[in-house]
Structure formats: C-alpha cells, structure tokens
Structure 1
C-alpha cells in the first residue's frame, strides 16, 4: 500500500484543486453574509475554529482581520501552505479534523463551510457533535452544505472525481438540532462557481448557537 492510500481522499482532491477553489467561490455573497452575521456576534479577540479552511480566504482572513484568534484545519497540505502564506495573522494546521483533540468549550465559534461532504452520514453526525461540544455554551456555529439527499454518490468537482454524501435541507437542520444547536436562521441560494466545468449548485447556510447549559 502506498503513502497515498493512507491519505483522506479529500486531501488528494483539494491538493489538485489548490488556489482554483478560492477563485471559483470568491463570488459567493451568501458566504460573505454568513461571515458578517458571525462577526456581529463575536466578542473582541474571540477564538474561532475554521474546519476545512482551504486557502484561508475569505473565512480565516475576514475573521483574523477583525482581530479574532483563528485556527484553520485542513487535510490538504497544498491548501494549508496557501492559507499560511495568504493569511499570516491566523494559524493553520494540516490534519484530519476527525482525529485531532477538541477540548470542550475551547472555542467561541466554529465555521464549517462545505467540509462535510466527503464524509459518511455517520461521520458527519459524529463530527458535528464533537464540534458543538468544542464551542462554549452560548457560542455560535455557521454550517454550510449542499443540501441534497445523496449518499456515497460519484461526482466530478472542478475536474476531480469525488464521492459525495449529504442531507436534504430539513434533515441537515434536524442534524444540527440533534447535536445541541439552535438554528437561529438560514439562507438558501443557488451558486455557480467560476470554473469552466462548474454547474449551478444549491447552497444552505445555517446560523446556529450552542444552547447554554440547563439552568444558566
């Protein structure tokens, strides 16, 4: 078995896509709006985890520029190298988010932008539960996905073969609720990435809060 066989498939996919991902999704007004929503709820110097941080832009850059302490985690070394160079005021770690330690209540907020789609439904549910516990009670999470009822289907994303698993919009919101989140708002849109092989895709952004402990 080669070294590549041990790597998460997402690492291979996003190593190949690299900076083209940022260019393709730079025009997402819904992504920018979700960051503005989050910024309006963060105290100065908040600690924020960016799951699947990609090139670091726009998420980590917007948050770091606002003075927040940002940790980005991504499985792709190419993406992590780009992010570290482009957003020097944030910290980045090349790792599988499923395998790193996430102490309870260690972050004020978590961002998860489209980084669950190559995990199984069981893995998505388990990871979301861990991420919720990693946010302090009363803290916020922004979750974004492609809301389709699909499980382990073959697809091509920006020229790269991928296997995709997701939930429909109502099911994804229910998943967030089951993990201990209140969904405060949501935005649905259809976005076409700026890439010659892209097609329009539905996007769902959930604006969430971890409920405070009972009695608080």
Structure 2
C-alpha cells in the first residue's frame, strides 16, 4: 500500500473543518490563557489571533469581552466557519508569514498552536515580527506542544503531517531574542480525543 504523503496546514485544516473544534478546540490551557489575557488588557483592546481556527473559543471569548479581534488562518474552511460563529470579529484568510501589520498597533497577540507545522527558522522570524507589531506593554500569549522535534512525521486526526516544535527553554530563548520579556509559563497534560496525553505549554510575554 502506498504511504500517504504528509499534508500542509492549509490542506489539513480544510479537511478537518469543524471536527477540530470537537476534538481539540477547548483544551483547558487555552481557557486559562484567554482568561489571563483578559485580566491584563485594557478595555476594547486590539487583539491579533494567529491560527484562529473556527473562532471558538478564543476569538469568541475575546470579542464577547469587548476586544477588537482580528483572526488569521491559512484554512479557507476555518475562516468560513469562524466568520459564521463569531460575527463580531474580523477573519483574514492568510499565512502570517505573508501578512503585514503596521508596528505597535496590537495590545496582544494570541498564538495558540500555529507554529507546529512551521519550520523553526520561520517561527523565529514570525516571533520577531509579532514583537514589532505589539504596542509597548503589549502581550504575546503563546500555547504549544513543547518538544525537540523538526519535521517529525505523525498522524493527526487521520491525516499524515509533519510536526515541528521546540523544547520549552529553547522556545523561551527565541521569544526573548525577538525582543520580548517572558512574564510567566505554565504547563499541563491534555488528553485529546485519541487518548494520547500531550503537554501543553503556555508562555506569556510582554514587549518592554
């Protein structure tokens, strides 16, 4: 039997669609991250959500709290779902590596799992760009699966993909090198639909 070739992020999430929200859409660490962010932000804060997916729970919670939210996602299917589910936010079908923003215009950037299919060099570049986009005193709220892996073949919801990540200390170093200061870290084990536990790491950083 011919082995399936790994798919990229756009193809993967176009295929998964709303099923992602059912299987992975509400990990407790993301709820913790959003709650923490809302406690830090001013009223009507401008928030950029990288890899916004279906819009729930992140953009939905932020917009419901009065934030002005813009979500970016490489999947046209996810963008369509998000626009329907969270009409109070704006969603853009794009890759963050191709998208541009004026400097110092976002009070916060959320990045919940968007780097897991991105080469390490690209992740470092994007972190530097995000740091420039934040206002002084603005926050980066990042959640990932920390591990020492690059281009690792795995199966995700029935689709072959290649996974890339950093060990926690190395990722913190990349965030600091981008010009941010790490405020806090938190990790916990999440049990997804397939029952294989994985570590979820939350890093909160600020632009000095």
Range class of TM-score, shorter chain: over 0.9
Q: CA RMSD in A?
A: 1.1
> Which residue of structure 2 lines up, in the alignment, with residue 87 of structure 1?
86
Three-state SS of the structure 1 residue aligned to 2:160 is strand
Deviations 1:78-111 (A, max 9, x none): 0000000000000001011100112111211000
1:200 matched to 2:180? The reply is no
Aligned to 1:186: 185
- Which consecutive residues of structure 1, in runs of 5 or more, have no partner in the other structure? 1-7, 212-216
TM-fit CA distance, 1:25 = 2.3
Q: Count the aligned residue pairs.
A: 202
Quote how far apart the aligned CAs of 1:60 are. 0.2
Shift of 1:199: 1.7
Q: Which runs of 5+ in 2 are unaligned?
A: 1-6
- In 1, the alpha carbon distance for the partners of 2:37 and 2:16 equals 28
The list of structure 1 runs, each at least 4 consecutive aligned residues, that deviate by more than 6 angstroms after superposition, is none
Paired residue for 2:36?
A: 37
CA contact (8 A) 2:191 2:197 kept: yes
Q: Post-superposition shift, 1:52?
A: 0.2
Change in CA separation of 1:101 and 1:26 when aligned onto 2, cut-off 3 Å: closer
TM-score normalised to structure 2 length: 0.94
Task: Give the TM-score taking structure 1 as reference length.
Answer: 0.91
Cα distance in 2 for residues equivalent to 1:103 and 1:198: 42
Matches within 5 A, 1:49-198: 49-193=48-192, 195=193, 197=194
Tell me by how many angstroms 1:173 deviates: 1.0
